Amino acid sequence: MRNRKKSDHIIFVAILFSLFISGCVNAPSSQVTPTATAPPVVATVTSIAPTIIVTSYPASVDPDTDLAIDWEVSGGMPGNISRTAIIWGLNSSTANVSDYPEISTVWTGKTPQQFNVTLNVPSTNVTIYFRAYAAVDGIDIYSDEYQTIIVPPATGGEY
């Protein structure tokens, strides 16, 4: 009986060994091929600060004539122009609407947009100082200050 136990034991070990070998050798390998994934696309909205520039004006005009000024308002998000105009006076001033005694026709719109206005200048020999002004998306913006000289026409002298 002892031989039987020994033979049972050998058979048992042989079965275990063959199971172990077959599991390691014959088992199909499940190889996973890694795939590259792109990072998620994040849409960013960049707000561009609103700007205003004077695009055209004369350096001088005759008295009692018209002074034509062109300007452009751009930028902002969403770019709503609640008001834009030329502010002007006979003295140089800071960038503030209340610093200029005169204001042109007031316009509204959406950026980018170009505007123009014609001012009726005085009949005296003076300098007009002006800026373009706009309120875009609730932000007040101003152009640099410019000037136009009112030059009376030259008169002929007597001989």
CATH code: domain of residue 84 = 2.60.40.10
* pLDDT class of 131 with cuts at 50, 70, 90: very high
Name the phi and psi angles at 9, rounded to 5: -65, -40
Residue 4 lies in a domain: no
Confidence check: pLDDT of 134 > 70? yes
pLDDT of residue 9: 57
What residues pair up with 100 in beta bridges, in sequence order?
Answer: none
Residue 26 lies in a domain: no
How many Å apart are CA 29 and CA 108, to the nearest integer? 72
How many Å apart are CA 28 and CA 159, to the nearest integer? 119
Q: 72 or 31, which is more confident? A: 72
Domain count, the chain: 1
pLDDT of residue 79: 96
Residue 19 lies in a domain: no
pLDDT of residue 122: 83
The type of residue at 73 is V
Confidence check: pLDDT of 52 > 50? yes
Q: 120 or 9, which is more confident? A: 120
pLDDT of residue 27: 47
The type of residue at 152 is P
